[in-house]
Structure 1
């Protein structure tokens, strides 16, 4: 009897944990128009700032979109990637985040919102709204952003590098990519759809030069990459080049479109994780469909972004609404 009670207790505990995780994945507490009464002009204020920024610095569109991804994949969408640390031990100082740009733009949006509605709009919500607005500014899709997130108080430099729950690195194969996304409640379709955000992205040469110069450690190139493309990239990227950057979607990196998928079908994906989308029947079928007349990419991108924006959110009395996005209250 005692054994049965112990098993029952363990079972109940597991059910409670699963229910808690499910509530975070489903983003309970979020809704469109969360600030309708408390700060009715919130999204207009964000849009105005981002419009001004995009008019003079359109290349920030990719980093600001990527910031939402980097935030949500670590501890959930809680603004933790924005936090500073007096000893440089927060997420933004972790190696995968060193190439993020646009923190000053988030601060600029926050300042404008604090002036209009002090202590109301969270930094986590700002990151989510900005991601949508830079997508629209680059001719991409519009979606209604669910808001109501609260800001987290913890940000650790080690979290993005965690081999299981950290940010999926650029060298992952398709099996590992799918596992990383599944851990966050995202499926194979979400993986290939959200990868489409690379249409407005840039990458440092150091993230892919091994594919050009030393793929298997024998001074060879990646046989899955178009050799003509390799020749072009070698003109831009030299071995061990830590500073030069290249367009993930050459010739179209300031326009949100389907050309990223078109390049993949021609074996011109820049990163290993891009090329890996050809190695799975489902993701490959989607990227081919995304380049056709029946493409649903724009609609799907908004759906997957909303889904990603629900990961691990803090709502209600959890967390806080930071007055300054780079530090806890």
Structure 2
């Protein structure tokens, strides 16, 4: 067999496929649990914590179903920067640059007032005991349940960070226009596998995307991946009316147009049809390197129970990404927006 030259196109493909394999293998070896976290952490000190969070989340989602997606996104953006330590909740001060104004977070995050309300309730009930990081993790679980998604137990005992990672937000968080291999590597860095990545992306079943993040997709390869049926052409036309070539950056559309406010597996059906709104989502099914991800998309599209089970497991792993420094130097903030004085 002839040797491939270093510049042969097949060589780069082989290297890329090898990278997918190595990244997947690496993820399997990563520990995503933390010995500090336990299910009964507040059993004696604040036994009503779960009830208080649930009631506040019920009010929030009842008033606006979009609040469920806001809280889940907040939790994800928190955990991918310094671990799940509540750093995403910090406001800027003279001494601290928060993560909210990082380019990837600006105009993308909401739900802070919901966490503020929950924190105020818990400070009245159990002052100085429940961390903002734990509140956000519980709230994300309840948000999913309240729009029809699965339940999972939430290990607790996180501490709040005294620092934030504005630069890390831009580095660690996946971007809408990113390719599959780059996103896989970002999940691997957090100890999350390819399976976790595909399952956690299913949270987009209740999410909205800003025009700025899907313009390149609908004026780019959308037609190439879609089925080119009258329905898909109408859908594309509607999205282009929401997101013109110039302007309207803050206009939004649902990432799952079938059931935008209900947590189910229909998001994966949009990918099977080549109609994913974000490039990063459609890549899981359409990318040349998506050998494993394509099979997982098909699996979750055809088996809602399998998706729910894996999503629950992956959310526990996500929530268990902890900042070891916060356990040593962290605190329980009195106000989630500011470190204690």
Which deviates more, 274-283 or 294-303? 294-303
**2:258–2:266 Cα contact (<8 Å) kept:** no
Which deviates more, 105-114 or 310-319? 310-319
- 2:217 aligned partner: 211
Q: Aligned pair 1:149/2:158, yes or no?
A: yes
1:77 and 1:221 map into 2 onto residues whose CA distance is 35
Q: Aligned pair 1:194/2:200, yes or no?
A: yes
- 1:26 aligned partner: 33
Return structure 1 stretches of 4+ with deviation > 3 angstroms: 313-318
Give the Å deviation of 1:224: 2.4
**1:289–1:295 Cα contact (<8 Å) kept:** no
1:316 and 1:209 map into 2 onto residues whose CA distance is 42
Q: Aligned pair 1:133/2:163, yes or no?
A: no
Give the Å deviation of 1:252: 1.1
Give the Å deviation of 1:225: 4.0
- 2:242 aligned partner: 236
DSSP 3-state at the match of 1:296: helix
Deviation per CA, 1:108-142: give whole Å up to 9, x if none. Answer: 00000110000000000011000000000001001
Structure 2 length-normalised TM: 0.84
**1:140–1:298 Cα contact (<8 Å) kept:** yes
Q: Superposition pairs for residues 1-329 of structure 1, below 5 Å?
A: 25-86=32-93, 89-98=97-106, 99-162=108-171, 166-213=172-219, 215=220, 223-227=224-228, 228=233, 229-240=235-246, 241-278=248-285, 279=287, 280-293=290-303, 295-314=305-324, 316-329=327-340
Give the Å deviation of 1:290: 1.2
DSSP 3-state at the match of 2:144: helix
**2:177–2:280 Cα contact (<8 Å) kept:** yes
Give the Å deviation of 1:294: 7.0
- Equivalent pairs counted in the alignment come to 300
2:140 and 2:159 map into 1 onto residues whose CA distance is 17
Give the Å deviation of 1:316: 4.7
1:143 and 1:293 map into 2 onto residues whose CA distance is 19
**2:199–2:311 Cα contact (<8 Å) kept:** yes
Give the Å deviation of 1:295: 4.0
Q: Which runs of 5+ in 2 are unaligned?
A: 1-28
Which deviates more, 101-110 or 233-242? 233-242
Which deviates more, 239-248 or 220-229? 220-229
**1:200–1:254 Cα contact (<8 Å) kept:** yes
2:85 and 2:144 map into 1 onto residues whose CA distance is 21
DSSP 3-state at the match of 2:186: helix
Which deviates more, 149-158 or 108-117? 149-158
RMSD: 1.9
Q: Cα distance 1:326–1:226, how it changes in 2: closer, same or farther (>3 A)?
A: farther
Deviation per CA, 1:70-121: give whole Å up to 9, x if none. Answer: 0000010000000001368310111211210000000000000110000000
**1:74–1:159 Cα contact (<8 Å) kept:** yes
1:106 and 1:28 map into 2 onto residues whose CA distance is 26
Structure 1 length-normalised TM: 0.87
1:193 and 1:180 map into 2 onto residues whose CA distance is 15
Which deviates more, 276-285 or 286-295? 286-295
Q: Which runs of 5+ in 1 are unaligned?
A: 1-20
Give the Å deviation of 1:223: 2.2
**1:38–1:120 Cα contact (<8 Å) kept:** yes
Give the Å deviation of 1:222: 5.6
